[in-house]
Chains A and B, each alone.
Chain A
Amino acid sequence: MSTALDSIVNQPYRAGFKTDIESDVVDKGLSEDVVRLISKKKNEPEWMLDFRLKAYRHWLTMKEPEWPNVKYPKIDYQDIIYYAAPKPKATKKSMDEVDPELLKTFDKLGVPLHERAALAGVAVDVVFDSVSVTTTYKEKLAEQGIIFCSFSEAVKDHPDLVKKYLGSVVPYTDNFYAALNSAVFTDGSFCFIPKGVKCPMDLSTYFRINTQDSGQFERTLIVAEEDAQVSYLEGCTAPQFDTNQLHAAVVELVALDRADIKYSTVQNWYAGDENGVGGIFNFVTKRGLCKGEKSKISWTQVETGSAVTWKYPSCILLGDNSIGEFYSVALTNHLQQADTGTKMVHIGKNTRSRIISKGISAGRSNNSYRGLVKVSPKAENARNYSQCDSMLIGQVCGAHTFPYLEVDNKSAIVEHEASTSKIGEEQLFYFASRGIDPEEAVSMIINGFVRDVFMHLPMEFAVEATKLLGLKLEGSVG
């Protein structure tokens, strides 16, 4: 790789600071007692503890998956802190009671917690290590019957809804990490949009892992009733540690008749250093159920962080005429590894799905797209279009595409397109010969490459994501 290109792709991580705050931390290790302790710390009802214990017992029977195209040292599940929470000063009633250290932290990350300073039109739930520290605009949303709160609050205040939908899309038996999450999850967000309501603002959760050696196991559940609409955003960062931290989240979305859920993620977990030391293991299960007819679930993700990413935001297209979409940009640099993609499972009639995946590999990283399109025997007239483009920056990175097509209905039309391009000396020389310096050239090529995906991000998020790609890929030309 030319030196110009080299310095462009090697930028420091700007969210890598640690907040000095007193934390309530449970000793490392996992056992039934730890599961009970987490549940007790959260004052959970019996049914919630039951769910956790069932999941834990099932998890003990499971094996860590080995099929992803990623390599990492064996995780010692007894060497992880399963609960870490900033010590509360007292029960807080308003933002003014949130620990100033936390306010400062999130200000620094560009997520102001005061409603008056908050991003216009975005309600934010903020999760710091294991707990939600605040949720903005809660009351305003409640006026329309929208519930937006931390998962812990939902368990207390809306047990019937949680009981009805928790595990209905991702059962605890689903996979190794989903089982682990179901046993030890500590917080997350809950959104409920009642029948006929179009959520007036974007809902957002910002996840921050602060404690070294802690894992983050959050759970997000979004339910949109008949004709409801919501756009939800998720952002994440973590300080720089030279040890790996495990992030194993579960996200479940449920869309009833004609409901529309748009879920956008900008993931910027710490990726480890240029030698692959430290960074987050991001093993996440995200799935949406298009339960009702004409329902729609759209995933947009920008994955830039984590040492290892393993996630497949998926759609189960159960309702007739339902629509699933997946738009993804995954950027890997240095020794980062990503194995990400989606699953579109067509069950209902006339179901449609669309997959646009853009992988960018730089440094010595490895980037894989893995996607399943399954058309079940009853899914008459199912349609899928998949497009998987890879971009290589430099000579020693890897890009892989693993498409799986399982079509059991003759009326289905399934299309898959793939391309690979690269930013190398020839591309930069072409731009240079038109007076465009390498930094601007890389930025223009990358922005062009991701355009089809970024156009699906909400405006503020698109700006943030563009900046983030810039940070990851721009720098002074040496």
Chain B
Amino acid sequence: MSGENKIILEASGLKAQINGASILKGLDLCVRAGEIHAIMGKNGSGKSTFSKVVAGHPSYAVTDGKLEFLGEDLIELAPEERSKKGIFLGFQYPIEVPGVTNGAFLRLAYNSIQAARGGDELDPLEFDDFIQEKLRLLKMDSGFLDRSLNEGFSGGEKKRNEILQMAILEPKLAILDETDSGLDIDALRIVANGVNAIHSDDDAIVLVTHYQRLLNYIEPDFIHVMEGGKIIKTGTKELALELESKGYDWVVDEYKAKAA
């Protein structure tokens, strides 16, 4: 991937807190069109917080630094404004909503985003045609649309449903927060194939994950290691294999030695 591609997301010196506790402590990251980034790190290193801060979760306050999407400051934007501009967050724990059918939810989401982009909104019949192909991509049958949103879905079904949403909303930036957790190997392959099929040179993907396993199927251009609310090391996909065999401590030690 070339350095000349358009910058999709840029964070620099980003600090954020929740209930007064600092979680992000000066994070730098630049994501360009066409790229796939993986953010790895231990529990509590701030990976999930970073995804939520980019998507605009109201509990997190950005206290310092820059956060830009396609050159535009994100910090003051409401989460729904961010998603209308093309940011998508794949949830680690998708919310269950009894009584709201998955199909109705997907159509409302699609139409909200279409309206913001000046595209055509679809009525239920048109939407049904539109979504069939996306369902096939994720090997989901149309019975999914009639079920209540995420209610009683298995872990794998929930994650597939997240990627289905990504497929219909066509974001410029997709942040997938631990999309691989709770997936068996077959589901992992389906989800990964889906993500690969959706991804193009115009958009970028940030994978947040603990494990190297997912990266066998979705090949990242960059691997970042997060620790203490910062990215402390960036490498290529080989770094993931090294982390898998050696753990994170050596990266932290190396970083501390450099800082000292």
Residues of A within 8 A of B (CB): 2, 389, 419, 421, 425-427, 429-438, 440, 444-445, 447-452
Q: Is the CB of A448 within 8 A of B169?
A: no
Which 6 A-B residue pairs are closest in the complex by CB-CB distance? A448-B99, A448-B100, A432-B79, A434-B109, A435-B112, A435-B113
Q: Is the CB of B58 within 8 A of A445?
A: no
Q: Is the CB of A432 within 8 A of B148?
A: no
- Closest A residue to B84 using CB positions: A435
Nearest CB of chain B from residue A128's CB, rounded to whole Å: 37
Q: Is the CB of B165 within 8 A of A434?
A: yes
- Number of residues on chain B facing chain A (CB within 8 A): 34
Would you give the 0/1 interface string for B77-89, flagging 1 where the beta carbon is closer than 8 Å to chain A?
0111011100111
Q: Is the CB of A448 within 8 A of B98?
A: yes
B residues near A447, Cβ cutoff 8 Å = 99-100
Q: Is the CB of A444 within 8 A of B83?
A: no
- Closest B residue to A3 using CB positions: B58
CA distance A425 to B104 in the complex (A): 21
Q: Is the CB of A434 within 8 A of B112?
A: yes
Task: Given A425-B58, A425-B59, A440-B108, verify A432-B83 contact (CB < 8 Å).
Answer: yes
Would you give the 0/1 interface string for B92-122, flagging 1 where the beta carbon is closer than 8 Å to chain A?
0011111111001100110011001000000
Would you give the 0/1 interface string for B46-89, flagging 1 where the beta carbon is closer than 8 Å to chain A?
00000000011111000000000000000000111011100111
Q: Is the CB of B58 within 8 A of A421?
A: no
Pick from B88, B96, B99: contact of A433, CB under 8 Å: B88
- Tell me whether B91 is interfacial, beta carbon within 8 Å: yes
Nearest CB of chain B from residue A169's CB, rounded to whole Å: 33
CA distance A430 to B101 in the complex (A): 15
- Closest A residue to B78 using CB positions: A432
Q: Is the CB of A450 within 8 A of B112?
A: no
B residues near A449, Cβ cutoff 8 Å = 98-99
A to B CB contacts below 8 Å, 28 in the list? A2-B58, A389-B98, A419-B98, A427-B97, A429-B55, A429-B57, A429-B79, A430-B91, A430-B95, A431-B80, A432-B79, A432-B80, A433-B91, A434-B109, A434-B113, A434-B169, A435-B113, A436-B80, A437-B80, A437-B112, A440-B108, A444-B97, A444-B104, A448-B99, A448-B101, A449-B98, A449-B99, A451-B99
Q: Is the CB of B58 within 8 A of A433?
A: no
Nearest CB of chain A from residue B85's CB, rounded to whole Å: 9
Task: Given A435-B83, A436-B80, A445-B100, verify A426-B95 contact (CB < 8 Å).
Answer: yes
- Number of contacts between A and B (CB, 8 Å)? 81
- Closest B residue to A419 using CB positions: B98
Q: Is the CB of B109 within 8 A of A435?
A: yes
B residues near A2, Cβ cutoff 8 Å = 58
Most buried by A among B59, B78, B97, B113: B97
CA distance A444 to B149 in the complex (A): 11
Q: Is the CB of B109 within 8 A of A436?
A: yes
A residues near B84, Cβ cutoff 8 Å = 435
Residues of B within 8 A of A (CB): 55-59, 78-80, 82-84, 87-89, 91, 94-101, 104-105, 108-109, 112-113, 116, 148-149, 165, 169
CA distance A32 to B55 in the complex (A): 69
Task: Given A432-B56, A434-B169, verify A445-B79 contact (CB < 8 Å).
Answer: no
CA distance A78 to B220 in the complex (A): 79
> Per DSSP, are chain A's interface residues mostly helix, strand or loop, or mixed?
helix
B residues near A440, Cβ cutoff 8 Å = 108, 112
A residues near B98, Cβ cutoff 8 Å = 389, 419, 421, 448-449
B residues near A448, Cβ cutoff 8 Å = 97-101, 148-149
A residues near B88, Cβ cutoff 8 Å = 433
Task: Given A425-B58, A440-B108, A444-B108, verify A433-B79 contact (CB < 8 Å).
Answer: yes
Q: Is the CB of B97 within 8 A of A445?
A: yes
CA distance A452 to B101 in the complex (A): 13
- Closest A residue to B175 using CB positions: A433
CA distance A430 to B113 in the complex (A): 14
Taking A429-B55, A436-B108, A437-B112 as known contacts, 8 extra A-B pairs with beta carbons closer than 8 A to each other, sorted by chain A number, are A426-B95, A429-B79, A434-B113, A435-B84, A436-B112, A444-B105, A445-B100, A452-B99
Task: Given A389-B98, A451-B99, verify A433-B89 contact (CB < 8 Å).
Answer: yes
Task: Given A2-B58, A448-B100, verify A430-B94 contact (CB < 8 Å).
Answer: yes
- Closest A residue to B90 using CB positions: A433
Q: Is the CB of A433 within 8 A of B55?
A: yes
CA distance A432 to B149 in the complex (A): 15
Nearest CB of chain A from residue B203's CB, rounded to whole Å: 16
Task: Given A425-B58, A429-B58, A448-B148, verify A435-B169 contact (CB < 8 Å).
Answer: yes
CA distance A280 to B148 in the complex (A): 36
- Closest B residue to A2 using CB positions: B58
- Closest A residue to B86 using CB positions: A435
CA distance A440 to B116 in the complex (A): 15
A residues near B108, Cβ cutoff 8 Å = 436, 440, 444
B residues near A445, Cβ cutoff 8 Å = 97, 100
Nearest CB of chain A from residue B124's CB, rounded to whole Å: 15
Most buried by B among A430, A434, A445, A449: A434
B residues near A430, Cβ cutoff 8 Å = 91, 94-95
CA distance A440 to B107 in the complex (A): 13
Nearest CB of chain B from residue A399's CB, rounded to whole Å: 15
A residues near B169, Cβ cutoff 8 Å = 434-435
- Closest B residue to A451 using CB positions: B99
CA distance A478 to B101 in the complex (A): 28
Most buried by A among B82, B104, B112: B112
CA distance A433 to B89 in the complex (A): 7
- Closest B residue to A450 using CB positions: B99
CA distance A2 to B80 in the complex (A): 15
CA distance A413 to B101 in the complex (A): 30
Most buried by A among B56, B94, B99, B116: B99
CA distance A465 to B143 in the complex (A): 29
B residues near A429, Cβ cutoff 8 Å = 55, 57-58, 79
Nearest CB of chain B from residue A217's CB, rounded to whole Å: 37
B residues near A427, Cβ cutoff 8 Å = 95, 97
Q: Is the CB of B58 within 8 A of A444?
A: no
Nearest CB of chain A from residue B87's CB, rounded to whole Å: 8
